[in-house]
Structure 1
Amino acid sequence: MSAHISLTKDTRSISFDGMKIIYDSYGVGYHTLVFIHGWSCNRELWSEQEPIYNKYRSILVDLPGHGASEAPLNVDYNNEMFARAINEILQHERITQAVLIGHSMGGPIATMVLRLFPHTVSGIFYVDSFWKYPQAYLTLKEREELKAKLWDDEKFFSIISALFRDNDDMDNSVRNTVTKVMMTTPKHVRVSVVATDAVPHALGYDDVFNIPAVHVVSERYSNIDKMWLHHLPQLHLAVWREAGHFLQIENPEALNKLVNKFLVDNNLLQNLS
């Protein structure tokens, strides 16, 4: 497909567990890229990747509880639920092969999609992500303290501010866009996601997935869980020095170039039509 052809965006919805889930679909075909946003974010923060999803069959998801998707109360917004919602979209679109691109929390969600539906995933591109949520290592007491903190808007705002570099030279409009998106995510959703008591789908030591994978990571999060490399032995790390958390916005041209290289080098491009 020519890089000069822009694909038409079609905003669609599905019903998942009684919730309306919104996503953008670009192009046609049974092989696709799937963009998975981070905690308290939404598909809007992939706007700088437009050259990618205007070139390849792509799906941009608003996870349950985020963005334009519905956010009912009394729902446990956990990893496995998000993964099943994504798979529901893939089923609805009749997708047989997907390359997942996950930022931050979107990374372990992408991994969960792989674990639950391995025959669907042909590659994963992680953006400043992690093997497990950092909160997964907290004690129950620490988790309760975190819940209380996340209900407080001022404290939540301070958590958002810490995601940027101290000497951040990004345009203020970018910082403001990220902050606005994260602050407008419903409180009960942002709390549930990171303070859930749900036990993830069990992963055995012999569960090894031999698919191509890349992790573009800031120096702050580059000391990754070694189990990640065990379960994804083809995982390649690319550490970006002096970077904040939103690599896809801070340096989109470089990230888009790496995504394209990942697809071409691993012969994934032929699956995207």
Structure 2
Amino acid sequence: MFYRELGSGDKSILFLHGWGCDGSIFENVAKRLKGYKCVLADLPGFGKSESPPESGWRVEDYALSVWYLVQKLQPSPRYIVAHSFGCRVATVFAALFPQAVDKMIFFAPAGIRTFSLKRALRVGSYKLRKLFRCSNPDKSYGSQDYRNCPSTLKNTFVKVVNQDLSIYAKRIVCDVLIVNGTEDVQTPLKHARKMNKLIRHSNLVQTDGDHFALFYTPSAFAEVVRLFLEGGK
């Protein structure tokens, strides 16, 4: 898996991006987290990482690939910051490898079933694609997403969006901060509320804005991360 490291410090943060994006979406946030080594990963199939086999991956496969990455990093990241699809991966990772995670921050989390998968969600704007260098901003569900998938990811997409990760969320034991935009139509607030109920040591914070709200203000995003990691709940 391709990754980049920004900054330096005794503590390390792993950043996991949303569907259709890559690690660079977190670059402006990571640059503001002085004193931390920030690891910006390109999940398989995105950015500079190789794609999963055409037979497709489940979220568990992504979580295992993250485990292999974490094993070779020094210092090993004890914190995870994830957005949307990245929250799916982090949810399974933390459930399978609880000893590897101390705290996580989920922004606009996906992966908890609250409505029919037939409900297609809106496509991100060109402005977002350009701003965040995403080929297709994370919409998480819907036929439009499937049509936009490269052929190598179509089977993975189908497998991923059909997984309800509630059973994994219940197994998470670390502290988790969940942040969700009040105007997010891609992963609506009800997703975050349900995840908050499932994860025993979690808190939910609502923020103004949409699916990418915190990325518009990287300084504020970085401050949220810092405050939580340095003692916040």
What is the TM-score of this pair, normalised by structure 1?
0.67
Q: Give, in whole Å, the separation in 2 of the partners of 1:43 and 1:97.
A: 15
C-alpha displacement at 1:248, in angstroms?
A: 3.5
CA contact (8 A) 2:107 2:180 kept: yes
Q: Corresponding residue for 2:63?
A: 83
Q: Corresponding residue for 1:159?
A: 123
Per-residue CA deviations over 1:41-72 (Å, capped at 9, x if unaligned) read 10111122133455302211100111000125
**SS at 1:102 equivalent:** strand
Q: Give, in whole Å, the separation in 1 of the partners of 2:214 and 2:25.
A: 8
Q: Give, in whole Å, the separation in 2 of the partners of 1:176 and 1:28.
A: 29
User: Of 229, 233, 246, which residue of structure 1 is paired with 2:200?
Assistant: 233
Q: Give, in whole Å, the separation in 2 of the partners of 1:265 and 1:44.
A: 27
Q: Which amino acid is the alignment partner of residue 228 of structure 2?
A: F
Q: Give, in whole Å, the separation in 2 of the partners of 1:237 and 1:189.
A: 35
User: Of 99, 102, 114, which residue of structure 2 is paired with 1:122?
Assistant: 102
Cα distance 1:85–1:30, how it changes in 2: closer, same or farther (>3 A)?
Answer: farther
Cα distance 1:111–1:180, how it changes in 2: closer, same or farther (>3 A)?
Answer: closer
Q: Give, in whole Å, the separation in 1 of the partners of 2:98 and 2:10.
A: 16
Q: Corresponding residue for 1:169?
A: none
- Consecutive unaligned residues of structure 2, counting only runs of 5 or more, are 138-147
Query: Does residue 69 of the first structure (1) align with residue 49 of the second (2)?
Result: yes
CA contact (8 A) 1:49 1:248 kept: no
**Residues 222-261 of structure 1 aligned to structure 2 (within 5 Å):** 222-224=189-191, 227-241=194-208, 243-261=209-227
Q: Which amino acid is the alignment partner of residue 216 of structure 1?
A: V
Q: Corresponding residue for 2:136?
A: 182
Q: Give, in whole Å, the separation in 1 of the partners of 2:227 and 2:192.
A: 25
- Consecutive unaligned residues of structure 1, counting only runs of 5 or more, are 1-20, 147-155, 165-171, 268-273
Q: Corresponding residue for 1:194?
A: 157
Cα distance 1:182–1:91, how it changes in 2: closer, same or farther (>3 A)?
Answer: same
Identity, % of aligned positions: 20
What is the TM-score of this pair, normalised by structure 2?
0.77
Cα distance 1:120–1:31, how it changes in 2: closer, same or farther (>3 A)?
Answer: farther
CA contact (8 A) 1:34 1:101 kept: yes
Rg (Cα) greater in structure: 1
Equivalent pairs, count? 218
Q: Which amino acid is the alignment partner of residue 48 of structure 2?
A: A
Q: Corresponding residue for 1:40?
A: 20
C-alpha displacement at 1:118, in angstroms?
A: 0.6
C-alpha displacement at 1:73, in angstroms?
A: 4.6
